[in-house]
């Protein structure tokens, strides 16, 4: 039951983008096309889950064991950067079109505060490894869900006559706000 609460909470109730405002840069930047948003969502899901698992192990078996907790942020950033490099190399070989579509936003996963934030929140919440991995994967799925919905809405906006002053970022921020309010409707689930 604990895992179900973590999953529902991370995906819907405490969506990392819409309620905690982590990962806004890729949320706004990569959400113009659904295909690109799906690719970014998959990349963030992989990196966030793997980074949380690796950082939890490092925190538990190295930093805590030897009293090096003050190196937590630096260590976590280095681990995330290494994992993003690995994902970038794999995407370049396996899916060059997705690699091109993600462009500059793929290296931005390194500085995506959502990835670092979830790794830190996993430690702060006192999750064990299993709960931490479920939390990270669910949070990443929630991020991807919000990103894909947002991209779908933005694609549909291309077919709508929007006043000139509202085109681009202004209407995107209004839509993000409306999505955040819609996701608040899930707050009673857990």
84-125 pLDDT, tens digit per residue, is 888 888 888 988 887 887 767 677 777 788 999 999 999 999
Whole-number CA gyration radius for the chain: 17
Query: In whole angstroms, what is the distance from residue 151 CA to residue 33 CA?
Result: 5
φ, ψ for residue 20, nearest 5 deg? -105, -10
Residue 95's pLDDT is 85
Q: Please state, in angstroms and as integers, the Cα–Cα distance from residue 185 to each residue in 21, 67, 142, 159, 176, following that order.
A: 17, 42, 15, 28, 15
φ, ψ for residue 147, nearest 5 deg? -65, -45
Question: For the whole model, what pTM was predicted?
Answer: 0.88
Residue 92's pLDDT is 87
Per-residue pLDDT of the chain (190 residues; tens, 9 = 90+): 889 999 999 999 999 999 888 888 888 887 888 988 888 888 888 889 999 999 999 999 999 999 999 999 999 999 999 988 888 888 889 888 878 877 676 777 777 889 999 999 999 999 999 999 999 999 999 999 999 999 999 999 888 889 999 988 899 899 999 999 999 988 887 7
Q: Please state, in angstroms and as integers, the Cα–Cα distance from residue 71 to each residue in 25, 50, 111, following that order.
A: 26, 19, 18
Average confidence score pLDDT of the chain: 90
C-alpha torsion 164→166→168→173, nearest 10: 180
Question: Which one, of 15, 55, 8, lies nearest residue 140 by Cα?
Answer: 15
Residue 27's pLDDT is 86
Residue 91's pLDDT is 83
**DSSP code for 159:** T
Residue 126's pLDDT is 95
Query: In whole angstroms, what is the distance from residue 178 CA to residue 189 CA?
Result: 19
Residue 168's pLDDT is 85
φ, ψ for residue 65, nearest 5 deg? -65, -40
Residue 40's pLDDT is 83
Place of tokens 């929630």: 142
- Contact between 59 and 122 under an 8 Å Cβ cutoff? The reply is no
Query: In whole angstroms, what is the distance from residue 72 CA to residue 74 CA?
Result: 6
Residue 93 makes CB contacts below 8 A (sequence gap 6+) with none
């Amino acid at each position: 039951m604990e895992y179900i609460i973590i999953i529902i909470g991370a995906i819907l109730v405490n969506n990392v983008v819409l309620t905690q405002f982590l990962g806004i840069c890729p949320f706004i930047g990569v959400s113009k096309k659904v295909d690109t948003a799906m690719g970014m969502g998959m990349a963030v899901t992989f990196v966030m889950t793997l980074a949380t698992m690796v950082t939890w192990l490092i925190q538990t078996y190295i930093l805590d064991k030897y009293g090096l907790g003050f190196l937590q942020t630096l260590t976590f950033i280095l681990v995330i950067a290494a994992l993003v490099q690995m994902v970038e190399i794999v995407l370049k070989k396996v899916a060059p079109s997705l690699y091109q579509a993600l462009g500059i936003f793929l290296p931005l996963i390194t500085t995506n505060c959502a990835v670092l934030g979830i790794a830190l929140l996993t430690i702060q919440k006192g999750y064990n490894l299993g709960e931490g991995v479920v939390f990270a994967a669910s949070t990443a799925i929630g991020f991807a869900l919000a990103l894909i919905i947002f991209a779908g809405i933005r694609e549909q906006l291309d077919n709508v006559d929007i006043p000139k002053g509202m085109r681009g970022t202004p209407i995107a921020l209004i839509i993000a706000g409306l999505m955040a309010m819609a996701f608040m409707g899930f707050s009673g689930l857990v």
